[in-house]
Structure 1
Amino acid sequence: MSFNFDQTPDREGTFSLKWEKYKGKDIIPAWVADTEFKVAQPILDAVGARTAHGNLGYYLPSAYQPANDAVQRWLKDKHDWQIEKEWIVWTPGVVPAFNVAIKANCKPGDKVIVQTPNYPPLLAAPKINGMERVDIGTVIENGRYTLDFDALERNAADPKCTLLILCNPMNPVGSVLTQDELDRIASICNENDVVLCSDEIHCDLILEPGVKHLPAGREDALANNSITLMAASKTFNIAGLGTSFAIIPDRKLRAEFTQASAGIVPWVTILGLVATEAAFTVCDDWHDAELAYLRDNRDMVFDAINSIEGLSMLKPEATFLAWIDASKLGVENVMEWAESKGVGPSPGVDFQQKDHFRINCGCSEAMLQQILSRLSA
């Protein structure tokens, strides 16, 4: 079956967060991390069938068997991870989930280690919950970004540091943790009694041939010391349905996580459950086609950005995001420079790196060519 990712719905006037930001301006929105693609038809059909039924009452997510079966099936098929259904904790997005992880695993005065650069809601989470944030930067080794493991090891030794939150694949830099890197993280966390909360929302968007995603909770060394956050939302463009899940193999960690969310975090919606079920059961061919399209987009961006004087980037292994180094432009504000060209990226300052910006490549080839043409003009 063929899929046409060149034809995307017109989102102007739909109150889309991405498109509302530059409403009325000749600036192409290339910022927030949702794609321009039409949702896979089986997902639309499933959601339509549920609404056509005519009743949208309460559904307990843990009891909605089809969605739980779908998560089990997807993780086994795509990530070689055989999970138990009781490990699944449904959450209305990964942002609420890592905030819950802080509430569950930290007490007043504790510190939360966060990998940087990182996306704004994750950077904000420790302070929101009354904790101190400890930043661990990334370094470039062999042409890719990786964690500053010396800094991680040094800070994890602080007894006040009780939780590490990271993205894998990394947002915005696009690296995917290797087995050696994950082993080292596990060793550092276990030696220092630090719980790992791994935001893996981009795990089904691996673009680099030969690179595999390794779920944190699948690792024996992390099974009893980790909270793995996943969702169909980024991959299948259903973020607006507010549905994700945590995989927590350890019974005690799972109970603490559930208790921390009680009375605050609502159940995920039935439409989110239905969409996730469809995405993880009948959309494999659409997913494969999307990856091929995004890989071409990534390569186009990589070549174009590195040909523009003052800009450079490393090739991301995953995600539909490009992290652009604009430090050599010689301008005071790189965001204003991009907007003056008619392109609206995510500002690097929001990720803790003001001389960078992030471009969303999850769009039609024609839209992406227009973005790149404006930046190079």
Structure 2
Amino acid sequence: MKQAIMRLRACINREIRSFLTARGYLEVQTPVLAPHLIPESHLEVFATEQIAPDGGAQPRYLVPSPEVWHKQLLGSGYGSIFEIARCFRNGEQRGAHHNNEFTMLEYYSVDADHLDSIRVTEGLLQHLLGRLQRELQQYGQSAERLQKLQPPFARMSVREAVLQYSGIDLDRHQQSSELAEAAARIGIRAAAGDSWERVFNHILVDRVEPALPDQRPLVLIDYPAQVRTLAEPADDPRYSRRWELYAGGVELANCYAEERSAQRVQQFFAAEAKAKRSCRVPHSVDWNYCRWFGSQFPRCSGVALGVDRLVMLLSGETNMSGVILFAESDRMV
């Protein structure tokens, strides 16, 4: 039952810990059940109840990422931290790169921005490829495929990628109707009332991601600010200090220069909570969450990296179910 990949996975986890702890990151362990979550309108969550002996009950939610806890630790002065965390997302599409329950490596570098995090992530991948060369070859991974994972990462702005692979200049299509019309001209039909973000995501998934080069890892940097996140705004306010890492044709990691403004965090919560009203599984929101931000919140950058996808890429497996015990697809009847 996948003993060989589990042994390799254990080695990968060990070397992740070795790399980060040697650089001063503190490993933390946070709950998978939370009384409230950060509202993210593109995610569905799992809900349950905590039942008291007297019969009362309080709602609890499986975390889609440990971010809701990590931001509190950062605001409390913990410094650079990391966690190899179990995460849960409901309504996930079925496919080779998805599972409703998955493992995420989330690490935050204090006194750093998103560009510093590129270098940290390059160092991590270089460390894994170097330290685990023998184990990866024993598992059957080819040197040619491993070469495609070698840093340094190529870099391309999101605007450049969309222009190159779809012909659409995002700077010239800042209204949702304008972007929808441009998408229609290349055969992507938006539904009536679709937001700018939704149309952009159609273009990204349908035209850009399949065309990205995979000869080496690629960072897509500077995401449109109309895709709401808790990333700092870039110097050009139309964009955010955010990147995503693609390797071997797989979206592997997401990074922000973390927002520090309590006011902008509160605005994000309000906008996303409103957008989440159409979600199938509502959840509680802590409207005082912004208290962790402001002057006490450090300049920092966070990376969320999919461990299952990382193991898949390093091992040469083509489906996440090959690196997960009791994967959802294995249990379907």
Question: With structure 2 as the length reference, what TM-score do the two structures score?
Answer: 0.30
Structure holding more strand per residue: 2
Question: With structure 1 as the length reference, what TM-score do the two structures score?
Answer: 0.28
